[in-house]
Every structure is written in structure tokens, then in C-alpha cells.
Amino acid sequence: MPLMTWQLWLAKDLVADYHLPWQKPQTLLTPERVAQSLFSLLIEIGSPAQPPKTRGKSPSWEKGKTRSKRKTYPTVKKRHSTPKKSATKAS
């Protein structure tokens, strides 16, 4: 928490006040207002993150080639088994 507050305090001079419609404009920005306004600074700086990977079918898959469906297995339902009767009855 202290590191985050320190970073917001340092970024105070780099951002312009971005206030929500119900908020009054401020000249001296609080850490909360700096956090609200940081988005514009992050857009300017950019991100070191890699672009997202493409999704869907593989680009190396041949056009028109049909894909085989996965093998399906029958559903096994567990049931309550009745106790087995003894083979010989005592008389």
C-alpha cells in the first residue's frame, strides 16, 4: 500500500485531472483522483505486454480438410445394486 501511494504521488504532476460528471474539478489532485486520471498516462506510455495470441482454428490447418470428431464412449450410470441371494436355501 505505501508503494502504491508513493507512485500515485509521483505521478500527480504527469496527469491531467479527469473527473467524473458529479465531481468538482481540482487543482491539487488527491491519490484517488490521480488513480482515476492514470488511464490517459498509461495510453501514452504504452504497455510492455505482448499482443494477445490469435484464437480459433490454427492458421496452418489446410483449407477444406475435414476434422475428425473425438471418439465418444457410452455413459456409465452407477446404480444401487441389490444384495445377491444365496445360491442354496437352508431348509
pLDDT score recorded for residue 57: 66
Could you tell me if residue 36 is inside a domain? Answer: yes
Q: 80 in a domain, yes or no? A: no
Please give the pLDDT value at position 47: 80
Q: What angle do CA 36, 39, 42 make, to 5 degrees?
A: 140
Q: What is the pLDDT, as a whole number, of residue 71?
A: 94
Q: Note whether residue 20 is domain-resident.
A: yes
28 is in which domain, residue-wise? 2-45
Report if residue 35 sits inside a domain: yes
Tally of domains within the chain: 1
pLDDT digits (tens, 9 = 90+) for 37-91: 888 888 888 888 888 887 776 667 788 888 889 999 999 888 877 777 776 665 5
pLDDT in tens, 8-20: 888 888 888 888 8
Q: What is the pLDDT of residue 72?
A: 94
Residue 76 domain flag: no
Indicate whether 29 belongs to any domain: yes
Is the residue at 56 inside a domain? no
Distance CA 40, CA 91 (A): 93
